[in-house]
Structure 1
């Protein structure tokens, strides 16, 4: 029996799928579902290509109640820009959760991953950042630096933004882009310690393998979202900061222990007697979040297959009647 599979290219996905409050809500619901214990989400399949300065992750999850489940393949080959190619690409395949048949293929080149990752940062800010954020800061100058701050601004509309990056020219470009996108004052800051000192909300968006944010920089009323550590060996936050914070939260503890900030802390002999909360548990009220405006909170985002399944189902609904249908 012939059936139709929807195939959608990046250009159409960009036209239809936006980083807005609706998308943030979809990703928040995915975190809440994770806290139920009913989501089936295997460990991330991850490979590193040392010779090519590349990596690839494969993520998936089944969320009861959703019509489909997604398998996402996300390669990142970071020398590609030297030969005129993008560093990130990939695709999502949406399968029926009832029959296992392919429903859609999203040739997004990483766009949907970028959107759901930024939305996850906004969910963390919504539940963990102070109610009032006047100044925000971002360490990193790439696509996620831009998207994370646009998403954070939707839930904590700060009036001033600070940007720090290793390359001053890239930092200036990032600041200019965000200034235009948000319509607020955006400033490049040469010293990351100064950026943290002035901010109530900080997002780190780098592929660093050495801490770039010191525990000594923590101050009352600070929230940090660390989203760059998504592979073993990566670390952005001084492990001592996780202990010093009033609250350290994971998107998934089992993932953060092997590929997030928690990995470095455990290797340093820290956090071994503590069981961190998960973001979904805070959303659903099963765990306490920020208890006062003076709390220091840190959220460790490694990216989950539940997010991919959630956004793939969301997108499939938005795309009803569009895309190229292929008979299979």
Structure 2
């Protein structure tokens, strides 16, 4: 029986440890060549945009898609799952929180594999909905003690830090400037919609890990070319997706200053196929654009818990 899960039902069974494990496992499978994933497609109209990601995870016997629509400030998300053997529909999930958590989990998994083992201080650019997932995942994946957050809205920033402090049990504090956010941070996370770079390359210390999660469009660029050039390791979730969507990498790619063959995929690092960080002094960079298989894998875990709890309503398929 195919079921429909609403946002509150998804939220009631979804937590960050579940998201981290689902994303880590499916990315390892991707690194071994055991999944199918297609880059995002967009339908642009004068007032709306529809975004579509598709993929398949044979290990879960699922194919599926994530679709979301945006019209001005309003965005709506759904994940559709299908049985990979029979083609029968399995579930439809409202996926605003699910997407936020899986995006955060991708950053957390990257920090687990690429940040220095002694990383304790983080700097985060962004204090919105998506930034919540990044902070939750980072604190769950690594023994981070202090997080400095920089945002454009001072009131929202204070509220965000107080909320994240309660949820993580860590010291989450507002940063007074972009420079303060970066200097002294072992991990730097950018999760904004900025069309221009957020900080100077010279502020980065040796051994910093960067997760850039906001630039999933060529109209956005959170990192300068100088920041990217300082990275000894450039890691992406998917090379095929990154060459189409990474506003941070495209300027260097177009000038011949980087090549996709030099980038490692997160799944390759997890699966032990290609190395990630090889020294404490290296600056590492993870460019996160998002993949359908991440949504499918996490939706499958949520669906399992929801069925156990008797949640959802039957769909008339």
TM-score, structure 1 normalization: 0.90
Matches within 5 A, 1:41-60: 41-48=37-44, 52=47, 55-60=49-54
Per the alignment, residue 60 of structure 2 pairs with 66
Contact 1:249 / 1:278 at 8 angstroms: preserved in 2?
A: yes
Per the alignment, residue 5 of structure 1 pairs with 2
Bigger CA drift: 142-151 or 208-217?
208-217
Structure-2 change in CA distance of 1:258 and 1:326 (3 Å): closer
Contact 2:239 / 2:260 at 8 angstroms: preserved in 1?
A: no
Structure-2 change in CA distance of 1:169 and 1:55 (3 Å): farther
Deviations 1:299-318 (A, max 9, x none): 00000111012112222211
Give the aligned length.
Answer: 314
1:287 to 2:281 alignment = no
Contact 1:60 / 1:308 at 8 angstroms: preserved in 2?
A: no
Per the alignment, residue 40 of structure 1 pairs with 36
Per the alignment, residue 135 of structure 2 pairs with 149
Per the alignment, residue 204 of structure 2 pairs with 218
Contact 1:132 / 1:156 at 8 angstroms: preserved in 2?
A: no
Secondary structure of 2:160's counterpart equals: helix
Structure-2 change in CA distance of 1:202 and 1:100 (3 Å): same
- Structure-1 separation of matches of 2:66 and 2:197: 29
Note the C-alpha offset of 1:55.
Answer: 4.1
Note the C-alpha offset of 1:185.
Answer: 2.3
- Where structure 1 has 5 or more consecutive residues not aligned to the other structure, the ranges are 81-86
Deviations 1:249-300 (A, max 9, x none): 1111121112112223223442148521111111011111111222211100
Structure-2 change in CA distance of 1:115 and 1:190 (3 Å): same
The CA RMSD measured in Å over matched residues stands at: 1.8
Contact 1:135 / 1:198 at 8 angstroms: preserved in 2?
A: yes
Structure-2 change in CA distance of 1:258 and 1:67 (3 Å): same
- Structure-1 separation of matches of 2:49 and 2:200: 27
- Structure-2 separation of matches of 1:233 and 1:311: 28
Contact 1:124 / 1:225 at 8 angstroms: preserved in 2?
A: yes
1:327 to 2:313 alignment = no
Note the C-alpha offset of 1:129.
Answer: 0.8
Structure-2 change in CA distance of 1:33 and 1:166 (3 Å): same
- Where structure 2 has 5 or more consecutive residues not aligned to the other structure, the ranges are none
Contact 1:224 / 1:298 at 8 angstroms: preserved in 2?
A: yes
- Structure-1 separation of matches of 2:238 and 2:292: 10
Note the C-alpha offset of 1:66.
Answer: 1.1
Note the C-alpha offset of 1:134.
Answer: 1.9
Matches within 5 A, 1:1-328: 4-20=1-17, 22-48=18-44, 52=47, 55-77=49-71, 79-80=72-73, 87-108=74-95, 110-260=96-246, 261-272=248-259, 275-320=262-307, 321-328=310-317
Contact 2:243 / 2:260 at 8 angstroms: preserved in 1?
A: no
Note the C-alpha offset of 1:39.
Answer: 1.8
Note the C-alpha offset of 1:202.
Answer: 1.1
Contact 1:163 / 1:188 at 8 angstroms: preserved in 2?
A: yes
